[in-house]
Amino acid sequence: MTTSLSTRVWFDLLLLALIWGASFLAIRTALDGVGVLSSVTHRVLWASIVLWVIVVARRIPIPKSPRIWGAFLVMGLLNNVIPFTLMAWGQLHIETGLTAILNAATAIWGVLVAALFFSDERLTVRRATGVFIGFLGVATAIGLGAFAHFDLRSLAQISVLAGTLSYALAGSWARAMLAGQSPLVAAAGMLTGSTLVMLPLSYVVEGPLPLALEPRLWVAIAYYSLAATALAYLLYYRILASAGAGNTMLVTLMIPPVAIGLGAWVRDETLASSAFLGFAVLALGLLLLDGRILRIFRPGD
């Protein structure tokens, strides 16, 4: 992996960070008038339709194997249903900016999960140190008070972190079960699996999918479904193909400032100083994980 990125890759990274960073505000806005399960259903339903339209337009072959479609369903559970639901519920009780900071723990979990399931992803001293520093950052962002006095806010933060663990499991599942599949088809397939789960689940718990919504709620739903899910997947895979996984991880560090700024501007949210310190420590752990800091001091490596 190289630390020298083209102007186009940097532009794509910044654009993806802006799109995903703003999604936290959009999701929180939709939750003002839509239930958690219904908000997730809206997200996966409309995004899956858009991606299938693109798949058909590009004439990309669609897999017919039941094994692949079963893998899509599991991927949908791990990468959409579980994390989207847990993190949306968490956002009801904590700030959007803090949610975005905790979301960065996905990369930390990803290293541990990969080391557990894949022999070529062993936990080296550098990676173990990065994981330790990363989780120290997470603990700092949550704050010592959350550990001393467990309350609804503490549960919301745990819910968000559980969502990031699910994301990490999804990454390992994709590597093991979906290798060789078109990223676009895989994204459409998993969102379809998610929709098949969420439609009946949200109907049973919250009733029919709400469609008579205020314009601002539809704008929020359209944004996080079409822009932050369908479009963002396309942009993410383009960056991944051109820059590699390590460089793509940089977007994880670029998202929280966007979410924090929008949360403060639109919803008058304020974060404790411990959240900013925790993010700085977490960022250090992430940069150590991919070796970027070491390459700065040892450019010949």
Phi then psi for residue 229, to 5 deg, are -120, -65
Is 2 part of any domain? no
- How far, in Å, are 44, 115, 249, 253 from residue 27 at the CA level? 13, 32, 22, 20
User: b/e per residue, 53-89, with b = 16+ CB within 10 A?
Assistant: ebbeeeeeeebeeeebeebbbbbbbbbbbbbbbbbbb
Predicted pLDDT of residue 296: 54
Predicted pLDDT of residue 7: 85
By C-alpha distance, which of 105, 93, 87, 110 is closest to 24? 87
By C-alpha distance, which of 288, 11, 283 is closest to 127? 288
**8-12: long-range pairs with CB below 8 Å, 24+:** 8/242, 9/239, 9/242, 9/243, 9/247, 12/235, 12/238, 12/239, 12/242
Predicted pLDDT of residue 1: 45
DSSP state of 130: H
Predicted pLDDT of residue 8: 87
User: Sign of torsion, CA 114 225 82 36?
Assistant: positive
User: b/e per residue, 125-147, with b = 16+ CB within 10 A?
Assistant: eebeebbebbbebbbbbbbeebe
pTM of the model: 0.92
Q: What angle do CA 44, 102, 106 make, to 5 degrees?
A: 65
Cα 21 from chain centre = 10
Is 118 part of any domain? yes
Is 21 part of any domain? yes
- How far, in Å, are 23, 42, 135, 260 from residue 150 at the CA level? 28, 32, 19, 24
Q: How many domains does the chain have?
A: 1
Is 155 part of any domain? yes
Q: Are 72 and 190 spatial neighbours (Cβ–Cβ below 8 Å)?
A: yes
Is 1 part of any domain? no
By C-alpha distance, which of 264, 214, 296 is closest to 24? 264
User: Sign of torsion, CA 93 230 171 245?
Assistant: negative
* pLDDT profile of the chain (301 residues), mean per 10: 70 93 96 97 97 96 94 96 98 95 92 90 89 92 74 92 95 90 93 97 97 96 96 89 78 92 93 92 87 57 46
Q: Which residue has the tokens 């990490």?
A: 168
Is 11 part of any domain? yes
Q: Are 190 and 75 spatial neighbours (Cβ–Cβ below 8 Å)?
A: yes
Domain of residue 12 covers 7-297
* Rounded Cα distance, 117 and 123, in Å: 11
By C-alpha distance, which of 82, 99, 120 is closest to 25? 99
Predicted pLDDT of residue 6: 81
